């Protein structure tokens, strides 16, 4: 499929007000021309509104949308080199798969259109399905027809709002892989909205986390997971323990001590924080090491899950830590006292 390198999309201070409610609040973002970007956040945080502004279905209250040198902000949707795929897919039930995919290809001639449709069906692995009706397809196949149709006019940027939301779990994982593969093969920028952190991590080159209309952190999945900048981002991307304490004096190599009621621990400070500031030490369950130097805990519960054991640990003040380790990692029966530690680089110190 012909792939002319696309210019870069730039959102500048993009804001959308509904009355006095800031649905999208001063979002600034540069997208690489070939990147798979996921907008992640809870329901109502402004993801769809941001996507609709990029597509041209919503007029921004302020700010700009540029694609290369072109200012798209005031252009109607059909004049933008951008396409949007909706969650409902909105396929025409009375038309064949091929007619659905070729629907927007009027004006390029029958032969060229047919060749293009064949290319697109091959791209989404539906060759041979052109004569079928949408209602004879599985959910995942319908999703791929909608994807092919959205790509028919070679948008420079494809926007997808919860594209896998209608699929059940097994199909969803398979289709995630397909979506990723199609984006890789095309090299077109995709912006996908999702509220599912695992989906975002699986799909995205970079994730942008939204909270209350604001884009609060942008980065590669592993950076967001390992180095969240806030309690919100840490909790959004997976299970995490927060240990409260006060920040100790400056340590070496960016690591700092934190005084907790149960002992001192060390971590990496996410932001500039003053000595004595109330903080939370964020540690993932898989980074807690039973039996290592650290905080005293009693093993309150242990659940064997085959490849791992999930343990509930109780600190002396009754608060709970969740640990996830390999079954062979520690001999710590329920009811026994032990210590739990972690590598300083596995812990992030966040403002409380």
CB atoms within 10 A of CB 264: 12
The piece of 46-54, 112-120, 132-140, 317-325 that touches Mg ion (CB under 5 A) is: 46-54
Binding partner of 221, given ligand ADP, Mg ion, none, CB within 5-8 angstroms per partner class: none
- Rounded CA-CA distance 85/157 in Å is 11
Q: Which residues contact 176 (CB under 8 A, 6 or more apart)?
A: 164, 199, 202, 203
Q: Is 194 in the site for Mg ion (CB under 5 A)?
A: no
Beta strand 263-269 with 157-161 is unpaired
**Encoded tokens for 93:** 């039930």
| Cα 223 to Cα 233, 267, 320, 325, distances in angstroms | 11, 16, 26, 22
Give the containing element (helix H, strand E) for 171. helix 169-186
- Rounded CA-CA distance 315/64 in Å is 51
Does residue 8 contact residue 67 with C-beta atoms inside 8 Å? Answer: yes
- Rounded CA-CA distance 331/346 in Å is 22
Q: 154's torsion region: left (phi>0), alpha (psi -120 to 50) or beta? A: left
Binding residues vs ligand ADP (CB under 6 A)? 18, 23, 41, 43-49
Q: Could you tell me the smallest distance in angstroms from the CB atom of residue 323 to ligand ADP?
A: 33
Of 48 and 241, CB closest to Mg ion? 48
Binding partner of 183, given ligand ADP, Mg ion, none, CB within 5-8 angstroms per partner class: none
Of 213 and 285, CB closest to Mg ion? 213
Of 49 and 183, CB closest to ligand ADP? 49
Q: How many residues make contact with Mg ion (CB under 5 A)?
A: 1
Of 52 and 116, CB closest to ligand ADP? 52
Q: Which of residues 241-280 bind Mg ion (CB under 5 A)?
A: none
Binding partner of 337, given Mg ion, ligand ADP, none, CB within 5-8 angstroms per partner class: none
The piece of 40-48, 70-78, 144-152, 320-328 that touches Mg ion (CB under 5 A) is: 40-48
Q: Which of 37, 38, 40, 48 binds Mg ion (CB under 5 A)?
A: 48
Q: Could you tell me the smallest distance in angstroms from the CB atom of residue 189 to ligand ADP?
A: 20
Beta strand 70-71 with 62-67 is antiparallel
Q: Could you tell me the smallest distance in angstroms from the CB atom of residue 47 to ligand ADP?
A: 4
Q: What is the DSSP letter of 261?
A: T
Q: Could you tell me the smallest distance in angstroms from the CB atom of residue 108 to Mg ion?
A: 33
Q: Could you tell me the smallest distance in angstroms from the CB atom of residue 266 to Mg ion?
A: 40
Alpha helices, DSSP H only, in 187-264? Answer: 197-203, 221-226, 231-236
Binding partner of 324, given ligand ADP, Mg ion, none, CB within 5-8 angstroms per partner class: none
Q: What is the DSSP letter of 5?
A: P
The piece of 27-35, 41-49, 90-98, 123-131 that touches Mg ion (CB under 5 A) is: 41-49
Give the containing element (helix H, strand E) for 148. helix 139-151
Of 76 and 107, CB closest to ligand ADP? 76
The piece of 27-35, 43-51, 65-73, 173-181 that touches Mg ion (CB under 5 A) is: 43-51
Q: Could you tell me the smallest distance in angstroms from the CB atom of residue 51 to Mg ion?
A: 8
- Rounded CA-CA distance 26/211 in Å is 12
The piece of 42-50, 54-62, 85-93, 298-306 that touches Mg ion (CB under 5 A) is: 42-50
Indicate the burial class of 265 (C-beta count within 10 angstroms; 0-12, 13-18, 19 or more). Answer: buried
- Percent helix, strand, coil in the chain, to 5, is 25, 35, 40
Binding partner of 45, given Mg ion, ligand ADP, none, CB within 5-8 angstroms per partner class: ligand ADP
Binding partner of 92, given Mg ion, ligand ADP, none, CB within 5-8 angstroms per partner class: none
Q: Could you tell me the smallest distance in angstroms from the CB atom of residue 212 to ligand ADP?
A: 9
Does residue 149 contact residue 103 with C-beta atoms inside 8 Å? Answer: yes
- Per CB under 5 A, residues contacting Mg ion are 48
């Amino acid at each position: 499929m012909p792939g002319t390198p696309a210019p870069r999309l730039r959102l500048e201070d993009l804001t959308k007000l509904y009355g006095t409610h800031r649905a999208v609040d001063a979002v600034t973002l540069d997208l690489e021309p070939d990147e798979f970007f996921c907008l992640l956040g809870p329901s109502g945080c402004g993801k769809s509104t941001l996507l609709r502004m990029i597509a041209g279905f919503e007029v921004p209250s302020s700010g700009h949308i540029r694609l290369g040198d072109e200012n798209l902000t005031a252009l109607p949707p059909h004049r933008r080199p951008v396409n949007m795929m909706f969650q409902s897919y909105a396929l025409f039930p009375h038309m064949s798969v091929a007619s659905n995919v070729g629907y927007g290809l009027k004006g390029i001639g029958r032969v060229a259109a047919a060749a293009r449709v064949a290319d697109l069906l091959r791209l989404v692995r539906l060759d041979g399905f052109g004569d079928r009706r949408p209602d004879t397809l599985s959910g995942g196949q319908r999703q791929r027809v909608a994807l092919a149709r959205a790509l028919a006019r070679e948008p420079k940027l494809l926007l997808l709002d919860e594209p896998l939301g209608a699929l059940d779990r097994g199909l969803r994982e398979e289709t995630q892989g397909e979506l990723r593969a199609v984006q890789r093969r095309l090299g077109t920028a995709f912006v996908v909205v999702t509220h599912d952190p695992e989906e975002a991590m699986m799909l995205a080159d970079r994730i942008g986390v939204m909270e209350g209309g604001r884009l609060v952190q942008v980065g590669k999945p592993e950076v967001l997971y390992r180095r969240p900048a806030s309690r919100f981002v840490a909790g959004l991307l997976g299970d995490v323990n927060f240990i409260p304490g006060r920040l100790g004096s400056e340590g070496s190599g960016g690591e700092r001590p934190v005084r907790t009621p149960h002992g001192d621990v060390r971590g990496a400070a996410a932001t500039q924080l003053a000595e004595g500031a109330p903080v939370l030490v964020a540690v993932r369950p898989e980074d807690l090491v039973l039996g290592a130097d650290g905080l005293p805990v009693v093993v309150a519960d242990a659940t064997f899950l085959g490849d791992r054991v999930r343990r509930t640990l109780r600190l002396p003040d009754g608060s709970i830590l969740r640990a996830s380790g390999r079954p062979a990692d520690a001999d710590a029966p329920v009811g026994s006292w032990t210590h739990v530690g972690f590598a300083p680089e596995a812990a992030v110190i966040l403002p409380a």
